[in-house]
Chain A
Amino acid sequence: MSHKNIKTISNPKLKLEILTEEDVKKIHDATLQIIEKVGVRFPSKRALEIWEAHGADVNHEKKIVRVKPQIIEDALKKAPPAYKLAARDPQQDLQLDGNHVHLGTDGCGVEVIDIHTGEKRTSCLQDVRDIARIADATEEVAFHWVPVSAQDTPAEARGLHEIKAVWENSTKHLQTESIYNVEEAKAAIEMAALIVGGKDKLRERPVLSLMQCTAPPLGHDGGSLDAALLAAEVGIPTGFMTMAACATTGPTTMAGNLAVGNAEVIAGTALLQLAYPGAPVFYAAAQTASDLRTGAYTGGGPEDFLFGAATNVLADFYNIPLSMGAFATGAKEPNWQAGLEGALSSFMASVVMSDMLLGCGFLHGSRIWSFAEMMMDCEIFSIVHKMMEGIVVNDETLALDVIAAVGPGSHYLGQKHTRNHMRELFMPQFMDRRPYSEWETKKDDARDWALTRARKVLKEHQPDPLDEKISKEMGRIIKSVEK
């Protein structure tokens, strides 16, 4: 399936075995044991009532739920294994079917390296618009997260200003990670309904999906749970993301950390299935190792890369799509570290076919948005995309006729075969392969070219506008939420 202006990984030729079947079974058993014996915290009245109604052991005072394995396993079986994320432009709908890896923009940052001045400053609504517009034009980006916080809008409706800004500047699917209370979730659903012509159409065409963070270890956020339940009710795809980090919010050992994160995610997912059987759900994760000197969660490093691949094995075991955190880095500038961490994390998450890959654009532990980083991350995705095509072996690609025609010595540059296939070779946008003397006179590099590219797209790209009436109506909904 091809999409309009979207590059997506499919039909992979590479494989990686990171966990054996037995490993997965052990992690699953450990997870069930954690949920049954230790319990998971669900600080939402509605969530606790649902658990109680389905036979879980609920401690209302501590808001901790302990659940028998059978209840969890039966509930998870009701989750649909595949569905689509709809886009404002139906030609940009994304299949979550285990055979696609779609890249999104990362979120949700608090500072931006200004695209014009290069100065770091607090993020604002215009940044959300600008990033959405550039992402709309960039084929590597398949969908949006809300990239940065619109801190110049009222806090109680900020998540709504943000999604409106994305929809007004792009036709691609929007997944928000920044709506985590009932009021905003209700309004967001109304806003999404405007695009598809009614709330009842959202199940068929979910132009919005919701990502909720868990509260590790072994907890959830009350507002997030209530928002997720609202979304699940109308068929808006919803996922819980664990960010359990080795040595702080999770055990130091990776297997234990996977089990803790898994308990949070599958308990939350089971809750949605108990409340609304068959609701589209996804697994989400961005586990990593905490820095032992500072305790910081920045993402990146070998544990992060391994989690990126391992989590998809778990999501596959539960037969639900995965949204995987990748590209995380503690780097302060687009540099060696950022490139290294972006490349390895995105490769590891892609080689196992994570359905959604988050995401391009960030520095400093997903806090600082850089337009240059965004473009370079997209190039990394393109490289991984190319690698996933593997090596095709057939008569045409073995090229025996051409080899005979050229013979020993000489070269292949003048061959028709070369011209016919040369565009299959990867053409980098931001890699320096120039003569040294050319570099010497300019002393520029990938960061300069990436920024130039972002500026050009921002200046030139005109997204298909959102119907003005819909925009106005969205504005009215937002007003009603603002105090």
Chain B
Amino acid sequence: MTEELFKQMAQSIIDGDSDLSVELAKKAIEINMHPLEAITKGFVVGVNYIGDQFGLGEAFLPELVMAGEAMKAAVAVLEPELIKLGSARETMGRVVLATVEGDIHEIGKTLVGTMLSASGFEVTDLGVDQPAEKIIGKALEIDAQIIGMSALLTTTMVRQREVIEELDKEGLRPRIKVMVGGAPITRDWFQKIKADGYSEDAVGAVKVAKELVGKGD
């Protein structure tokens, strides 16, 4: 019975079916299954499967995103129960994501957020057009290990440097690591502004984030 439920949970993630994953999460609570067990033995199995399939070239980005969203929806149901039980899900780390001030492009950043959440990070996505003080303020508030910044324009990517300079001034690095990304971001730029991590796509960003929190493969 429990085994069957785990299987269904994994499958709901593989199918990217958020409605079903939420329903199964609620069912787990009803039958007094420990929320952590539902996550690790059920839903995570599905996320890992899709991740592996993606790595093999068998699954595509939309499937990865849908699995990530279904995972997030299930965890959102289970998380309050976990807190009630006095335990918390062990996360890979806490991340603040934002598109920098003056820039309203966010699909890449949103994708990075989905991928990071699906991989076990706790992600706070501030959205677009975010000034340095807001990004840093949120990072301090939630005690984030990583700030991830996106920019699409050469005219706005300079804001990434401002945030890094501000963090340095406050003595917040290396406590807070900085990841940068976006279409105009090159390795040269990443090195020039002395960021800690950089990736050209969302899947690569997960790898970089894991390395930054010392949990690389």
Contact = CB atoms under 8 A, between A and B. Distances in A.
Interface of A: 409-416, 418-419, 422, 435-438
B187 A414 contact: no
Contacts of A418: 62
A437 B114 CA distance: 22
Q: Which of A409, A413, A416, A418 has the most CB of B within 10 A?
A: A413
Contact of B204 (A411, A412, A415, A435): A435
B65 A435 contact: no
A422 B61 CA distance: 10
Q: How large is the interface on B (under 10, 10 to 19, 20 to 34, 35 or more residues)?
A: 10 to 19
Nearest to B57: A427
Given A414-B16, A414-B69, A419 B107 contact: no
Given A419-B16, A419-B66, A437-B187, A413 B200 contact: no
A411 B200 contact: no
Contacts of A416: 16, 66
A419 B65 CA distance: 10
Contacts of A438: 200
B61 to A, nearest CB: 6
B110 interface: yes
B82 interface: no
Interface string B189-207: 0000000000111001000
B79 interface: no
Contact of B62 (A410, A419, A435, A436): A419
B200 A435 contact: yes
Contacts of B106: 409
Contacts of B66: 413-414, 416, 419
Nearest to A420: B62
B111 interface: yes
A158 to B, nearest CB: 42
A411 B110 contact: yes
Interface in B46-72: 60-63, 65-66, 69
Interface of B: 16, 60-63, 65-66, 69, 106-107, 110-111, 114, 186-187, 199-201, 204
Nearest to B106: A409
Nearest to B204: A435
Nearest to A425: B60
A435 B114 CA distance: 19
Given A413-B62, A414-B16, A414-B69, A436 B200 contact: yes
Given A411-B111, A414-B66, A418-B62, 6 more contacts: A411-B107, A414-B65, A419-B66, A435-B200, A436-B200, A437-B187
A413 B204 contact: no
Contacts of B60: 422
Contacts of A410: 110
5 contacts: A411-B111, A415-B62, A419-B62, A435-B200, A438-B200
B200 A422 contact: no
B201 A413 contact: no
B109 to A, nearest CB: 11
A36 to B, nearest CB: 61
Q: Would you list the 7 A-B pairs with minimal beta carbon distance, nearest first?
A: A435-B200, A413-B65, A418-B62, A413-B62, A411-B107, A414-B69, A414-B65
Contacts of B200: 435-438
Contact of B61 (A409, A413, A415): A413
A405 to B, nearest CB: 13
Contacts of B65: 413-414
Given A411-B107, A414-B69, A435-B200, A422 B187 contact: no
Q: Which of A410, A414, A422 has the most CB of B within 10 A?
A: A414
Contacts of A414: 16, 62, 65-66, 69, 114
A414 to B, nearest CB: 5
Nearest to A418: B62
Contacts of B111: 411, 413
Contacts of B61: 413
A422 B59 CA distance: 11
Contacts of B199: 435
Nearest to B16: A419
A418 B65 CA distance: 11
A363 B186 CA distance: 37
B59 to A, nearest CB: 10
A413 B110 CA distance: 11
Contacts of A409: 106
Contacts of B69: 414
Nearest to A436: B200
B107 A435 contact: no
A418 B63 CA distance: 9
Nearest to A423: B60
B15 to A, nearest CB: 9
A419 B187 contact: no
